[in-house]
């Protein structure tokens, strides 16, 4: 009788473990639209249509760039950068200082970036974008997916 009871408890525990999966934020597709630098202003622009809620505290954020195009010519060392941002008011956003920036000169598969020990869960983040400081007479577009994780 004890053996059947123990077997039943173990079976139920295993079934419960199989039914539990960790919660992760879903990947969010994005398309930057035209990105330009206003002369002397090199700040991130939040892409407000592509929020992502972080599900796991202190987990790395990641992104993928499936298309990246520059208008005009660039020297191959300049590019576009992305960084998570927080909404700080009705229409204002601030970059997450402790999150690594994702620099890209070409398309890239999924890459992970650190939060430097920060990044609480259950917070909605927005993907910020800007061109390299040296790019003043060109624009760029990019698309892919990202995840605050």
Task: Enumerate domains of the chain plus CATH numbers.
Answer: 27-147 (2.60.120)
Please report the pLDDT score of residue 110 as a whole number.
92
Decide: 86 and 93 in contact? Cβ < 8 Å: yes
Identity of the highest mean pLDDT range in 54-58, 73-77, 127-131: 127-131
Q: Rounded to whole angstroms, how far apart are CA atoms 84 and 82?
A: 7
Residue 143, token pair as written in the block? 């698309």
Name residue, tokens 């992104």. Answer: 63
Mean per-residue pLDDT, 88-105 = 87
User: Is 133's pLDDT higher than 80?
Assistant: no
User: Is 16's pLDDT higher than 50?
Assistant: no
User: Is 102's pLDDT higher than 80?
Assistant: yes
Strands, E, within the chain: which ranges?
Answer: 28-31, 45-53, 61-71, 80-87, 93-95, 102-104, 108-113, 124-131, 139-147
Q: How far is CA 90 from the centre of its chain?
A: 21
Mean per-residue pLDDT, 130-142 = 80
Mean per-residue pLDDT, 142-147 = 94
- Tens digits of residue pLDDT in 33-52: 988 876 656 788 899 999 99
């Amino acid at each position: 009788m004890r053996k059947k009871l123990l077997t039943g408890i173990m079976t139920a525990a295993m079934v419960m473990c199989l039914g539990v999966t960790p919660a992760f934020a879903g990947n969010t597709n994005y398309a930057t639209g035209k990105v330009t630098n206003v002369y002397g202003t090199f700040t991130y622009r939040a892409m407000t249509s592509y929020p992502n809620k972080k599900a796991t505290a202190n987990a790395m954020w990641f992104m993928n760039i499936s298309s990246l195009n520059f208008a005009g010519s660039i020297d191959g060392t300049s590019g576009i950068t992305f960084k998570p941002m927080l909404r700080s008011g009705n229409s204002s956003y601030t970059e997450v200082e402790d999150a690594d920036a994702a620099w890209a000169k070409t398309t890239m598969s999924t890459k992970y970036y650190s939060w430097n020990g920060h990044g609480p869960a259950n917070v909605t983040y927005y993907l910020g974008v800007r061109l390299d400081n040296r790019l003043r007479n060109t624009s760029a577009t990019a698309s892919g997916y990202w995840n605050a994780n």
